[in-house]
Amino acid sequence: MNTMFRYVLKTLWRHRTRTLLTVTGAAVAMFVFCFVGSVQEGLHRLTTGSDADRNLIVFQENRFCPTSSRLPEDYERVIAEVPGVRDVMPIQVWTNNCRASLDIVVFNGADPKQIQQTRPLKLTSGDWQQFESTRDAAIVGRNVAQRRGLKVGDQFTIGELSVRVAGIFESNVPSEENLIYTSLQFLQYSRGLDAAGLVTQHEVLLTDTADPDRVAAAIDQKLRAGAVATKTRRKGAFQASTLSDLVDLIGFAHWLGYACVALVLSLVATTTVMSVQDRIKEYAVLQTVGVRPLRAMRLVLAESTILCLVGGLVGTVLALTALGLGGFAIGAEGATIAFRPSLGLAVTGTVVSVLVGVLAGLVPAIQAATVPIVDALRQA
């Protein structure tokens, strides 16, 4: 085995320029593949899970951008009376851009105590007390702080809003790290927003035995006589609907990931075929000294697999590093999809690299194993 491995490495080193170009091409393709996979994972995390399935969002009917949804805050009292409702959190949402953007800034205004109780947030710096006691204080998600270069004590201004950073938080829900939380009253009474007594949406927390769809229908039925008609959905379905245009784009990007895999397959297969053809006489000599066809096949398969695996690992590691350091996210209409590295993404990148390497080497491996010895030795 060691002898075979050394032989394959010497063969690759003998044509190092071709080897380097092949590894580089595979790395670039797998880099793109992992980025696409990260976007798909981010969308999946946003629209699934217990939080997405068990919580409800009450929104103004036939409205999309948060700035256009204006529900009375006192709907909270009416919603709380519906059987199956455990708690209601009025939320005022403000965003700098309702369209798709890679640098969207989303403010969520709510009661600080409810934020602490209902959101899986952990402050990495700052403290909750300052956030609760200061009207214009805000806690900032780690990704936003990283992109904007914010730290505790900074004054952050965007559009009509100006807040002082009271804390930086991280969360086990990646999309949360792209939000900025303030008190509800701050967003309602900020100059230019004109939202006194109004909220963008009500988030409804259900009891353990409640049926989400029945409660949603009951809420809309009860509020039908109110000043503003509502549409209540599960949180995951609401976010998927909000990001419907991006969902279609991400679905298209899914095919881009497959195209990257096909590119690696074609690239490594072409390189391996060229390598076998260059050394066809060498394989004939190996057979004359007792190397069996299956061993010759393993030599070629090992060569293609090493090329693909090295390139794939380099591209995967670079992608995961960029995702970890960049804090990338894309959002629209107040909802964000976070791009995060993950163990699943690393495993997928590695497994795909190995499988593509094996597939790319099959045809040239068969060619090397079945070479006619006499004809090959007669070649100049």
Give tens-digit pLDDT for 134-168.
Answer: 889 999 998 889 888 899 999 998 877 899 999 99
How wide is the angle at C-alpha 331 spanned by C-alphas 62 and 203, nearest 5°?
Answer: 55
- Are 105 and 220 within one domain? yes
Mean pLDDT for 251-273 is 83
- Are 255 and 362 within one domain? yes
239 pLDDT tier (thresholds 50, 70, 90): confident
pLDDT at position 324: 83
- Are 130 and 195 within one domain? yes
Q: How many CA atoms lie within 13 A of 229 on its CB side?
A: 3
- Are 294 and 218 within one domain? no
Lowest mean pLDDT among 19-33, 78-92, 204-218, 275-289: 275-289
374 pLDDT higher than 60:
no
380 pLDDT higher than 90:
no
- Are 223 and 252 within one domain? no
- Are 212 and 335 within one domain? no
β-pair type (137-141, 161-171)? parallel
1 pLDDT tier (thresholds 50, 70, 90): low
pLDDT at position 56: 92
- Are 218 and 289 within one domain? no
Mean pLDDT for 2-22 is 77
The residue among 197, 228, 259 that closes a domain is: 228
Domain annotation covers residue 57: no
Domain annotation covers residue 176: yes
Burial of 2 (C-beta count, 10 Å sphere; 0-12/13-18/19+): exposed
Residue-range definition of the domain harbouring residue 310: 2-46+245-378
Domain annotation covers residue 56: no
- Are 74 and 189 within one domain? yes
pLDDT at position 301: 86
- Are 251 and 366 within one domain? yes
Domain annotation covers residue 239: no
- Are 124 and 173 within one domain? yes
Q: How many CA atoms lie within 13 A of 85 on its CB side?
A: 23
Count of domains for the chain: 2
Mean pLDDT for 281-294 is 66
pLDDT at position 192: 66
Domain annotation covers residue 233: no
Name the 3-class secondary structure at 319: helix
- Are 8 and 81 within one domain? no
The residue among 228, 255, 274 that closes a domain is: 228
- Are 202 and 251 within one domain? no
Domain annotation covers residue 134: yes
Q: Which residues contact 157 (CB under 8 A, 6 or more apart)?
A: 163
